[in-house]
Structure 1
Amino acid sequence: MSQGLFPTWREAPADAETRGTVMLLRAGYVRKLGSGLYANLPLMQRTLQKLEALIRQELEGLGQEVSFPVLQPEQLWQESGRWAAYTQAESIMFTVRDRGGRQLALGPTHEEVAVVTVRDLIRSYRDLPLSVYQIGRKFRDELRPRFGLLRTREFTMKDGYSFHASPEDLHAHFEATADAYGRLLRRLGVEWRSVEADSGHIGGAESREFMVLSAVGEDEVLWTADGRYAANAERAVAGSVDVTPSPFVQRQRQHTPGAGTVAAACTLLGCKSAHMVKNLLYDAVVARSDGSLRVPVLVSLRGDHSVNPTKLWNAVQTRSRTWGGGTLISLDTAHSESWAQDQAAGLPLGYVGPDLPDTVLARRADVFPAFLRLCDGGAAALRNFATGANEPDWHLSGVNWGVDLACPEVTDLRQAQAGDPAVHDPAQMLQSARGIEVGHVFQLGTRYTTAMNATFAAADGTTQPLQMGCFGIGVTRLAQAIAEQLSDARGLVWPTCIAPYEVVLTIVDMSHAGQLAAATTLYGQLRAAGIDVLLDDRPVRAGAKFADADLLGVPYRVTLGRRLEGGEVEVHCRRSGEVRRLTLDNVVADLRVRLETPLA
């Protein structure tokens, strides 16, 4: 240690938000350079290299390693139709111009590059399947980089892409890769769950996330105790709690002054929120070749339910045919002054009904002339419900779909939450946990290959688009997720398989010739045995060395102190806290056995 870069600190910077971040900074694994930008110091580099090696081991036989360029031409993203989504909707992609004025992207992901690389290489079904992966740098212009390495602007990721002749073969590879991810996480000894997930801007019909459970996780996982259901809250579905019979027996128009909220209206009407259909207004902004278009959206929802923003986004985007196509770039609570014909006279906020007329919309080229009307299934199932009357201070009660009101298009828009009954078994209640997404696998189907004309000659002679899969692991994110879950108050607690060093030798008294000689000899023996060993030969007090060994998270500490006079050393296990006394002659053999035991 006296000859290397091993800085440790008593305190972490004030902006270190999580315990894992604190420990990585204090232990000298990383240094923060700016918002979302970190330098990996030698200890972190060794840990990441071991983690990458572990990933390669689990992917053996599932793909060939390649390296794609970080700089990507704009044209590829225009071909796939994702340029607007990444530069406007999420604004997550860094873009630059070369000296010739051509626009380039710093790759946040590589689907387009993978497709264009293989489309000229694959001609026939005989060339399939093909699976490639890379481990390299990604760049994302995060709006709020936070939580150390969990959300940064530059990070290391393993991303893989597979191509198949049939959906069945794609599914088989999807499951094989998911199994490999599961084996990896089991080897690392973390608590994790595989969950149904939303595909986001990557797209595709089915995707699955791998979550390391942690209180600092940005995602909520909803799951059932029987093990039959787990999903990201963005994707999760739930059954509805049974609604008591409606108190309304006939249709009435009721005066509800000052009752512009569900709670206030229910108080005046004498009903529960589950007996009401509330109607929410949103602004969708769509990017099209002829400019942006504002699409007003009217969502009908049961009064005791809330909207899932991800489900709503997906529902609006998939209905782009309604307004002639385009890429959805924003979807927010309505700013009706931007599209209402006469807000003061024609828009009864707080009293809106599902049948709010399109005539309230301004007649302008940049405003779609009709509401996109959507209804959640929970609201669609109600009978004799109450809802807004499209007039300030008035509600309708005893209303029924198909009799009094036309039901809008029904789709799942509800935010599931802990305590809701599960769809597969109403006796199972959804439970909640926080998770850090460390892996994501997608069945993309023909989403990219059709758009980018990547085809092959099938066995029957027809030309068909390639079936495609995408598979990612955030390497730096996974390292910090482990630090979050496995660290304790004293420091990091690395799994042996990715610890930067497996053993640290601590010399108690550097002025003691016997301790120094014994440590030097043992250091050479351990290295000869193939064990990653670190010799703490710094001229500092023993207590500081012990504290640093715990902080660094090295699995085993061998202490060479006064017991050496009797031919013994102490071997301390970082994870269990167990301390054993061994003779010098037995240390190497004992550690070799323990290091071969998983999660020692």
Structure 2
Amino acid sequence: MRATRFFISTLKEAPADAEIISHKLMMRAGMIKRLGSGIYNYMPMGLRIIRKVENIIREEMNRAGAIEMLMPVVQPAELWQETGRWDKMGPELMRVKDRHGRDFIIQPTSEEAITDVVRSEIRSYRQLPVNFYHIQTKFRDERRPRFGLMRGREFTMKDAYSFDRDTDGLKKSYQIMYDAYTSIFQRFGLQFRAVAADNGAIGGSGSHEFHVIAETGEDALVYCPTSDYAANMEAAEALALSDSRAAASAAMTKTATPGKEKCEDVAALLNLPLTATVKSIVLAVDADEGKEKQIWLLLLRGDHELNEVKVSKVAGLANFRFASESEIVEYFGCKPGYLGPVGTVKPVNLVADRTVANMADFVCGANEEGYHLTGVNWGRDLPEPVVADLRNVVAGDPSPDGKGVLAIQRGIEVGHVFQLGTRYSEDMKATFLDENGKPQLLQMGCYGIGVTRILGAAIEQNYDDKGIIWPTAIAPFEVVICPMGMDRSEAVRTETENLYQALLAAGVDVILDDRGERPGAMFADWELIGVPHRVVVGDRGLKEGKLEYVARRGGEAVHVPVAEMAAFIQARLAE
């Protein structure tokens, strides 16, 4: 590719609405151009990266035995009504009507569409297992699109769907996809981590997320440096921080704490560690028809934070909400800030986090404004609670596998694999006939990669003050040739063309910058764009029989004999 025959449009400054580094750099490098809120044109430079990402995904999916197809962006509402997601998805699901007034959706994902295909095509166990995938545009009507491609409304996604006859088959298909994803991210050249995750609204049982490691990532990844344990914050198990409960050693005493509503302030006033305090969180579950509303009190140690995903898995709390102040006053006789489990006005459902359940002589609210209780103990002052894992882990907690302590790093989710089981096949009556001729529900897996999100995540992990540093496998070009005065020097022009043709013949994805730009402007463009390998051809070097090579990632200039440069570049690309 010659630069004069390509489209290069760089900016010195990022637009004012660009928020994070990947958004700023992609806009400055001319890779994307905003069309509307959360909607972008993929410019030629950016599209080259997307196609390389897609090609790697496609090669590994095909190698893993998945079969490519293509499902439509617009899908009939009836399919989504069958599974209940027409209502459950809420405003993120873009709903449209055709000229006849019929309802459709712009797909955010394709579980319904693929299940509809399979229920009409798969008849016998002899046709299983099967795994279909496509790479297609998706749309999610984000309330607040931001961060460029990281949280846009329209994006490209690879989603795959496996179908098996039983759970053992599903587990095998899941492992094949897990391994394929590992190969995909290794080929991208990105630092990543796969972590156990919660299935969330998509349903099903086990799942793993794949995260690109980046300090700017939105997600907290929990892992044990001395074992294989890894999970996202929602799914990471928090063990009790003491193995047993100490005996009570203090009397329960009501203590004045005027104006001290937070555990930190109470601990400071009483000259106690924050770890001796317990915070109270009040939840409500609205009544089904014929039943009464329920109020729940959850107890966490003062320095811990509630994990709402874990709370939703406690029996009876699947549909919880936070209680209103009027509900709190009704049940506790006191405003928030001084709440506790002792002496509530009305009975509540009490659940203690594992760590709290093993605490003794703790401090909690007295259900009276301006007062807390000290020396509170289970069994003596309170009935034994229901115990559950309710909190977020913190660095230094024991690893659930017993092989060390936990650490936390930031990551950007770019892939997710799910074991869906019969979540969709049951709703949509997708069955096959087994060896005995009896219908059985298909076991389903779902596997997604955010194709366009990979670009933003890769940049968040790979940049410096000059611009982007692409891993070679997904760079818009592998090599850029920068001739100095090509229009003025016959020697520069000849050696530039010779190297360019040699690299093309060797299958190298090379661009020749023949725009006639000044060296400083030329180098600045390619450092911003992030091409990983640069060759400079100039009269000064040619007089010594050499060309200059510079690696984008912190490389020093290396002078290579003219005749050896093509082989040198190929060797660097092969590393």
Of 35, 44, 47, the residue aligned with 2:46 is: 44
- Describe the SS at the equivalent of 1:2: helix
Give the AA of the match of 1:303. Answer: G
Percent sequence identity is: 41
Q: Deviations over 1:171-225 (max 9, x none)?
A: 1221121111112222222221111112111122111111111111000112222
Distance 1:388 1:566 in 2: 81
Distance 1:36 1:229 in 2: 35
1:244/1:315 CA distance change after superposition, 3 Å:
closer
Contact 2:38 2:152 in 1 (8 A): yes
Task: Decide which moves more: 301-310 or 208-217.
Answer: 301-310
Q: CA deviation at 1:521?
A: 4.0
Residue 68 (structure 2) pairs with residue 68 (structure 1) = no
1:83/1:390 CA distance change after superposition, 3 Å:
farther
**Aligned residue-pair number:** 567
Q: CA deviation at 1:97?
A: 2.0
Contact 1:358 1:371 in 2 (8 A): no
Distance 1:77 1:356 in 2: 48
Residue 512 (structure 2) pairs with residue 535 (structure 1) = yes
Instruction: Look up the match of 2:60.
Output: 58
Instruction: Look up the match of 1:198.
Output: 198
Instruction: Look up the match of 1:185.
Output: 185
1:384/1:493 CA distance change after superposition, 3 Å:
closer
Instruction: Look up the match of 1:220.
Output: 220
Give the AA of the match of 1:525. Answer: A
1:85/1:378 CA distance change after superposition, 3 Å:
farther
Of 19, 22, 30, the residue aligned with 1:20 is: 22
Q: CA deviation at 1:383?
A: 4.6
Instruction: Look up the match of 2:525.
Output: 548
Contact 1:246 1:275 in 2 (8 A): no
1:512/1:417 CA distance change after superposition, 3 Å:
same
Q: Deviations over 1:73-105 (max 9, x none)?
A: 333223223333311xxx322222222333222
- For structure 1, which runs of at least 5 residues remain unmatched after alignment? 321-327, 360-369
Residue 553 (structure 2) pairs with residue 575 (structure 1) = yes
Of 452, 455, 463, the residue aligned with 1:479 is: 455
Instruction: Look up the match of 1:592.
Output: 570
- Describe the SS at the equivalent of 1:440: strand
Instruction: Look up the match of 1:174.
Output: 174
Task: Decide which moves more: 64-73 or 385-394.
Answer: 385-394
Contact 2:131 2:161 in 1 (8 A): yes
Distance 2:350 2:89 in 1: 27
Q: CA deviation at 1:341?
A: 8.2
Residue 380 (structure 2) pairs with residue 379 (structure 1) = no
Q: Deviations over 1:526-551 (max 9, x none)?
A: 32332222111112212211222222
1:258/1:244 CA distance change after superposition, 3 Å:
farther
Instruction: Look up the match of 1:98.
Output: 98
1:444/1:398 CA distance change after superposition, 3 Å:
same
Distance 2:128 2:538 in 1: 62
Question: After the TM superposition, which residues 330-341 of structure 1 pair with which residues of structure 2 at under 5 Å, given as runs?
Answer: 333-337=322-326, 339=327
Distance 2:429 2:391 in 1: 36
Give the AA of the match of 1:124. Answer: S
Residue 534 (structure 2) pairs with residue 557 (structure 1) = yes
Give the AA of the match of 2:415. Answer: G
Of 325, 341, 352, the residue aligned with 2:339 is: 352
Instruction: Look up the match of 1:422.
Output: 399
Q: CA deviation at 1:444?
A: 1.3
- Describe the SS at the equivalent of 2:566: helix
Task: Decide which moves more: 46-55 or 258-267.
Answer: 258-267
Contact 1:248 1:385 in 2 (8 A): no
Distance 1:352 1:469 in 2: 45
- Describe the SS at the equivalent of 2:138: strand
Question: After the TM superposition, which residues 80-95 of structure 1 pair with which residues of structure 2 at under 5 Å, given as runs?
Answer: 80-87=83-90, 91-95=91-95
Give the AA of the match of 2:78. Answer: Q
Q: CA deviation at 1:64?
A: 0.4
Q: CA deviation at 1:111?
A: 1.4
Instruction: Look up the match of 2:430.
Output: 454
Distance 1:521 1:264 in 2: 73
Question: After the TM superposition, which residues 94-493 of structure 1 pair with which residues of structure 2 at under 5 Å, given as runs?
Answer: 94-242=94-242, 245=246, 248-250=249-251, 258-263=259-264, 272-283=273-284, 296-315=295-314, 319-320=317-318, 328=319, 333-337=322-326, 339=327, 346-354=333-341, 373-383=350-360, 385-393=362-370, 395=372, 399-401=376-378, 404-425=381-402, 428-493=404-469
Give the AA of the match of 1:336. Answer: E
Distance 1:348 1:341 in 2: 6
1:75/1:378 CA distance change after superposition, 3 Å:
farther
Distance 2:393 2:247 in 1: 23
Q: CA deviation at 1:353?
A: 3.5
Distance 1:108 1:305 in 2: 35
Q: Deviations over 1:23-42 (max 9, x none)?
A: 22222111223332221111
Distance 2:113 2:356 in 1: 43
Give the AA of the match of 1:168. Answer: D
Q: CA deviation at 1:557?
A: 1.8
Distance 2:87 2:249 in 1: 48
Q: CA deviation at 1:18?
A: 2.8
Distance 1:402 1:246 in 2: 10
Q: CA deviation at 1:273?
A: 4.6
- For structure 2, which runs of at least 5 residues remain unmatched after alignment? none
